[in-house]
Chain A
Amino acid sequence: AQSVAQPEDQVNVAEGNPLTVKCTYSVSGNPYLFWYVQYPNRGLQFLLKYITGDNLVKGSYGFEAEFNKSQTSFHLKKPSALVSDSALYFCAVRGRGYNFNKFYFGSGTKLNVKP
Chain B
Amino acid sequence: GAVVSQHPSRVICKSGTSVKIECRSLDFQATTMFWYRQFPKKSLMLMATSNEGSKATYEQGVEKDKFLINHASLTLSTLTVTSAHPEDSSFYICSATRGLQETQYFGPGTRLLVL
Contacts and interface: CB of A to CB of B under 8 A. Distances in A.
| A interacts with B | yes
Interface of A: 34, 36, 41-46, 49, 51, 90, 100-103, 105-108, 110
B43 A105 contact: yes
B32 interface: yes
A107 B42 contact: yes
A43 B43 contact: no
B104 A103 contact: yes
Nearest to B105: A46
A47 to B, nearest CB: 10
Contact of B32 (A43, A45, A101, A106): A101
Interface residues of B, number: 24
Interface of B: 4, 6, 32, 34, 41-44, 46, 49, 91, 93, 95, 97, 100-101, 103-109, 111
A101 B44 contact: no
B100 A42 contact: no
A42 B42 CA distance: 14
B44 A90 contact: yes
Given A42-B109, A45-B106, A101 B49 contact: yes
Given A90-B43, A101-B97, A105-B43, A43 B6 contact: yes
A82 to B, nearest CB: 22
A34 B103 contact: yes
A95 B55 CA distance: 20
7 contacts: A43-B108, A43-B109, A44-B44, A51-B101, A100-B100, A106-B43, A107-B43
A101 B100 contact: yes
Contacts of B44: 44, 90, 105
Contacts of B105: 46
A23 B102 CA distance: 20
B107 to A, nearest CB: 5
A-B residue pairs, 6 tightest by C-beta: A43-B106, A44-B106, A43-B108, A107-B43, A43-B109, A105-B44
Contacts of B41: 108, 110
